[in-house]
Amino acid sequence: MSKVLVTGANGYIGRYVVCELIQRGHEVIASDINLSDIDNRAIPNSTPIFSGDPDIFQQLSSPDICIHMAWRDGFVHNSEAHMRDLSKHVEFLENMIKGGLKSVSVMGTMHEVGYWEGAIDENTPCNPQTQYGISKNAMRQSLMLTAEKFNIPIHWLRAFYIVSKDLRGSNIFSKIVNAAAEGKTTFPFTTGRNKFDFIDLEDLARLITIASTQTQVSGIINVCTGEPESLASRVERFIRELGLEIKLEYGAYPDRAYDSPGIWGDPSRIQDILANEKCREGKYTTL
């Protein structure tokens, strides 16, 4: 098994990825500003990843794999932090690779693509419409050049719409759970007509782990289900599943101008990875 560094290990997705990696027998180095809530089986490392130090690879315990999920303001799509931090992310990963890192996985996003109707695959052209999407897209392009130069595999893990009752999240599902806990009976909502690719947080963590620790498929990998569903349908189902006493107030907010009527991931590459996992473990693995 591998020694895996997880940056953003105490984050919304990171905590679940750390647990999944440990469950699969990997040694995990957990990196974050605050490490109070990570799995106690992980090895905490509070070294600042944006220090610019050339020996950052050694400072972070010389891992085999880095799963880079640290990112500020991921749910604030036009935050100034996205472009301001971009060069720091690039410098960090370049120094890790120069230090001897064997494999890099980075969290991407459907927002790199921008406005698109239908399925997204690794060849879909990108025209991002937000600062978040622009910065992630630029980081991917830069990292691919670095990977080619140093001949190491890059897994660019493109995520779509995450479903979770985790109260630390900032998406609509976490906000609804928080609102219900506060005793609210209605929740302001859009029309809910847009169709997205939804995935439960636990399933996403599993796909991230499997994709990051294999060597047969690299490049852009959609960590998704490939099954579009309307936002209204998925949120209403979420409310029923949790038995929440709260109703959606449709039309209280306008739909975002940069959201497509329907956008989802092509899961072909992650399905290939899962098929390889099936062969390796001798059992069937599904989304």
Q: Which residue has the tokens 């991230």?
A: 208
Q: Which residue has the tokens 């290990």?
A: 9
Alpha-carbon separation of residue 216 from 69, 102, 155, 219 (angstroms): 22, 14, 11, 10
List 12, 16, 132, 161, catalytic entry: 132
Q: What are phi and psi of 165, to 5 degrees?
A: -90, 5
What is the rounded distance in angstroms from the CA atom of residue 152 to the CA atom of residue 110?
24
Name the DSSP letter for residue 244: -
Q: Is the Cβ–Cβ distance between 131 and 71 less than 8 Å?
A: no
b/e for 55-91, b at 16 or more Cβ within 10 A?
A: ebbebbeebbbbbbbbbeebeebebeebeebbeebeb
What is the rounded distance in angstroms from the CA atom of residue 222 to the CA atom of residue 201?
15
Q: Strand 228-230 and strand 195-200: pairing?
A: antiparallel
Judge whether 132 counts as a catalytic residue.
yes
Residues with a catalytic annotation lie at: 132
